[in-house]
Copies of this chain bind each other. A is one copy, B any other.
Amino acid sequence: MATETTAPAVTYADVEAAVRRIAGYAHVTPVITSRTLNDQVGAELYLKCENLQRAGAFKFRGAFNRLSVLTPEERRRGVVAFSSGNHAQAVALSSHLLGIPAVIVMPHDAPATKIAATQGYGAEIVRYNRLTEDREAIARALGEERGLVVVPPYDDPYIIAGQGTAVHEMRAQAPPLDMLVSCVGGGGLIGGSCLSARAIWPQIRIFGVEPEDGNDTWLSLQQGRIVSVPPPASIADGIRTLAPGKLTFPIEQENLEAVVLVNDAEIKAALRFLLFRLKVLVEPTGAVAVAAILAGKVPVAGKRVGVILSGGNVDPDVLAGIIQEG
C-alpha cells in the first residue's frame, strides 16, 4: 500500500509533540534511587520506572502516540500490531482507551500473562510461530485484507518519538545526567531516549545493552550497516529482535558510545537485586541495563547515570524460577 520512500527523520520536536499527546493518558513514572545500589557501583543511579507505566512497560508511550495521529477513517477500520508482548498490550490498551478496534499478532511462546492482559483490553489475538514464521508478513497481510493500519513495534517515527518521552520526563526528576543506560531491542526506546537525552544534556554519554545472543545492534554498529541475527533465546524476551530498524539504526549510530552485552545469569542476578533489595519487580528485559552496570560493563564510577527499567511484566513461573536460582 505505502510507497517505499526515504524514511522521514525523527527529531526532539517529535518527542515534545508526543509529550503533549500522551499527557493525561500515560503515567509520569517515578524515578527511584537506592543507597545500597549506589554504594555497590560507586555512582549515582536514577532508575526510571517504566515497569510502573500503564500496561507495565514503556511501550504504551509510543503506541498511544502513534494511535493518536490516526485519521478518523483509520480509527474506524482499526489497527494491527505484531509483538512479543508489551507492545501488544500497549496497542491493545491504547486502542481500548481511544475506541479503536485492534488485532494483535503474538508469538506462540509469548508469556501467558501478556496474552491474557492483551485479551483483557478487548483485542483480537492471532498467534504465530516465532521460530518459523514472519510476524511482520502476517500482520501486513491482515492489514491489507481488512484495511487495518499496521502499528510496528519500533521502526516508526511516532513510536520512536513516543518512547522518547520517558527520558524527557527525567529532566524534571533527576539532576543533570552524565550518562544514560538502556536496554536495546529494535531501537524504539533507545532511539527516542537518544533524541531526548542529546537535546537536554548535549554532552551525555549513552550506552545500550543487549543480550549476548541478541547482539544485532552491537554487530550492526561494528559493521556500520544493519546486520541480522538468528532468533535469540535470551531470557530477555522483550528484546529478542533480529535487527535494528531502518529509522532507529542511524540514531543509534549517531548517539551511542557503545553497546555492551550481558548474559542470562547477569540479567537474572540484576532482577533479583532489584526485587529483594529495592523491592521493585521488573521483567528480565527491564533488568538488562542494571545487569550491565552491576557486572561492571559500563564506566559509571562517579557519574550521575539515568537507567531505564523498561518493563515489569513477567510470568509467575519464570519469576519463581529466577528467584530459586539465586
Type the 1/0 row for A241-284, where 1 means its CB is closer than 8 Å to any CB of B. Answer: 00000000000000000000000000000001001101111100
Chain B residues with CB below 8 A from A312, complex form:
279
State in angstroms the CA–CA spacing of A91 and B320 once bound together: 31
Which chain B residue lies CB-closest to A275?
B281
**Number of residues of chain A lying within 8 A (CB) of chain B:** 22
State in angstroms the CA–CA spacing of A281 and B282 once bound together: 11
State in angstroms the CA–CA spacing of A317 and B272 once bound together: 12
Which chain B residue lies CB-closest to A317?
B324
Chain B residues with CB below 8 A from A281, complex form:
275-276, 279-281
Query: A319: which of B56, B280, B317, B323 is its contact (CB, 8 Å)?
Result: B323
The complex is assembled from copies of this chain, and their number is 2
State in angstroms the CA–CA spacing of A323 and B30 once bound together: 26
State in angstroms the CA–CA spacing of A278 and B326 once bound together: 23
State in angstroms the CA–CA spacing of A30 and B49 once bound together: 14
State in angstroms the CA–CA spacing of A272 and B49 once bound together: 19
Task: Say yes or no for A51: interface residue by CB 8 A criterion.
Answer: yes
Which chain B residue lies CB-closest to A314?
B276
User: Which A residues from 296 to 326 make CB contacts under 8 A with B?
Assistant: 312, 316-317, 319-320, 323-324, 326
Question: Ordered nearest first, which 8 A-B pairs have the shortest CB separation?
Answer: A279-B312, A279-B281, A320-B320, A320-B323, A316-B323, A51-B279, A320-B324, A316-B326
Q: Give A residues with C-beta under 8 Å from B.
A: 30, 49, 51-52, 56, 113, 272, 275-276, 278-282, 312, 316-317, 319-320, 323-324, 326
Provide a sorted-by-A list of 24 A–B residue pairs whose CB atoms are within 8 angstroms: A30-B30, A49-B279, A52-B279, A56-B279, A113-B276, A272-B316, A275-B281, A276-B281, A276-B316, A279-B280, A279-B281, A279-B282, A279-B312, A280-B280, A280-B281, A281-B281, A316-B323, A316-B324, A316-B326, A317-B324, A319-B323, A320-B323, A320-B324, A323-B323
